[in-house]
């Protein structure tokens, strides 16, 4: 099946019946209600107060929003916005057009360059210089329907995961933030697809805290692949595979700050698992599946995050429209289910912390909104005003 087919099927069914807000003019209206970025506005250059520059910690911070441009009611490019780090209030600042289906976004460690996938059959990664919003070009991922990307902590390599083809690509990053030709492309050909799957579906690729290993989560093969990165050549060598139980459908992995444990969100069987990680070898060991606390309905867990101090974890549940709260215990080796909290939107596809960890952003695909919640030191979650309207919101990247 083509990557375009996968891409369309992944959001067409999910958007059926969803009430999507019409886009309003850019800027926030008085009284605390934020307006959506205008889908018709193209912003090739940075306006006063826009992203890519250092700011006062108390001033507005940049927020970038991913969408599906080919979906009904979707956006027309990468949404541009700002948020108040104290109140969480979002203000729209327009749209950067010229990128098709930018469903996932990442920023270079130096904060100067933005990267966006183009989740289409001919998958690509587009580079945006943040100082003036100039598009520096695109590179093919060599795979279909890329849905995730990340930058190595050194800033020298970019990794992308293509869902439709089950492949992971590596691109070199030069001093300007632009991408060179691919240095590697690996496709997950084994083990065989899990129950109900027709092939591999790479859903995430992330560098382990040790910096020398790259882990790819594949929903189709129920496997997390560990690769050793050659930082001279930009090539990946497989060193281990960690299998989940058949049909789990692993989607997203996040590491505890101590680097010895990770937490895996399983989309298909509605579970999470604590994983032990050996930084020396790159080996991951998947623990027993645990409850998401969402009951018997279909929940589709999407993403799991750990607070910067490693004390709590939050899981986005799309079918349940909630965030599950876990206490992290035993130095990262145990998750204890606390409760679920309403996310304030429909189908939270992706969640992200503000850099200081005090705000949590949730991109709600079906309601076309971004929710913001205050995160307390004790792991509490409290809504930060009304959700912000953003067409088919599938990624929120606060800087």
Q: 234-270, pLDDT tens digit by residue?
A: 999 999 999 999 999 999 999 999 999 999 999 999 9
Closest CA to 393 of 42, 81, 40: 81
Is residue 355's pLDDT more than 80? yes
> What predicted TM-score, i.e. pTM, was given to this entire model?
0.87
Do residues 398 and 354 touch, judged by C-beta distance below 8 A?
yes
Closest CA to 391 of 13, 82, 75, 38: 75
Distances (CA, A) of 259 to 175, 209, 230, 335: 28, 6, 20, 15
Do residues 222 and 195 touch, judged by C-beta distance below 8 A?
no
Helices (H), 166-215: none
pLDDT of residue 3: 36
pLDDT of residue 368: 98
Query: Residue range 46-51: average pLDDT?
Result: 31
CA dist., res. 200 & res. 225, Å (int): 12
Is residue 373's pLDDT more than 50? yes
Structure tokens at 296: 């018997």
């Amino acid at each position: 099946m083509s990557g375009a087919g996968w891409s369309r099927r992944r959001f067409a069914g999910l958007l059926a019946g969803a009430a999507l807000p019409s886009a309003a003019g850019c800027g926030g209206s008085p009284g605390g209600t934020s307006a959506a970025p205008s889908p018709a506005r193209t912003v090739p250059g940075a306006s006063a107060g826009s992203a890519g520059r250092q700011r006062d910690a108390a001033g507005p911070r940049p927020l970038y929003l991913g969408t599906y441009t080919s979906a009904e009611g979707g956006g027309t490019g990468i949404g541009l916005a700002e948020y108040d780090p104290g109140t969480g209030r979002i203000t729209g600042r327009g749209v950067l057009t010229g990128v098709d289906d930018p469903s996932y976004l990442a920023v270079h460690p130096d904060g100067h360059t933005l990267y966006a996938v183009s989740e289409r059959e001919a998958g690509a990664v587009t580079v945006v210089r943040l100082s003036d919003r100039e598009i520096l070009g695109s590179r093919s991922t060599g795979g279909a329907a890329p849905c995730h990307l990340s930058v190595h902590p050194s800033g020298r390599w970019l990794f992308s995961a293509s869902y439709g083809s089950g492949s992971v690509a590596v691109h070199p990053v030069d001093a300007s933030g632009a991408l060179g030709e691919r240095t590697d492309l690996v496709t997950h050909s084994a083990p065989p697809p899990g129950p109900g799957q027709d092939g591999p579906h790479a859903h995430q690729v992330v560098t382990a805290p040790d910096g020398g290993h790259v882990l790819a989560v594949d929903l189709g093969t129920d496997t997390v692949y560990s690769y050793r990165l050659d930082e001279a050549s930009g090539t990946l060598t497989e060193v281990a595979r960690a299998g989940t139980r058949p049909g789990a459908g692993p989607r997203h992995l996040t590491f505890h700050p101590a680097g010895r444990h990770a937490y895996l969100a399983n989309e298909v069987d509605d579970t999470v698992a604590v994983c032990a990680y050996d930084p020396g070898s790159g080996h991951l060991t998947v623990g027993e599946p645990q409850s998401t606390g969402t009951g018997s309905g279909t929940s589709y867990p999407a993403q799991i995050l750990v607070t910067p101090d490693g004390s709590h974890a939050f899981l986005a549940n799309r079918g349940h429209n909630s965030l599950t709260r876990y206490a992290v215990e035993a130095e990262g080796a145990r998750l204890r289910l606390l409760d679920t909290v309403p996310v304030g939107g429909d189908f939270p596809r992706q969640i992200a912390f503000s850099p200081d960890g005090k705000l949590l952003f949730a991109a709600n695909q079906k309601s076309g909104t971004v929710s913001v919640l205050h995160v307390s030191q004790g792991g509490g979650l409290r809504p930060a005003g009304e959700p912000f309207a953003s067409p088919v919101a599938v990624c929120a990247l606060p800087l």
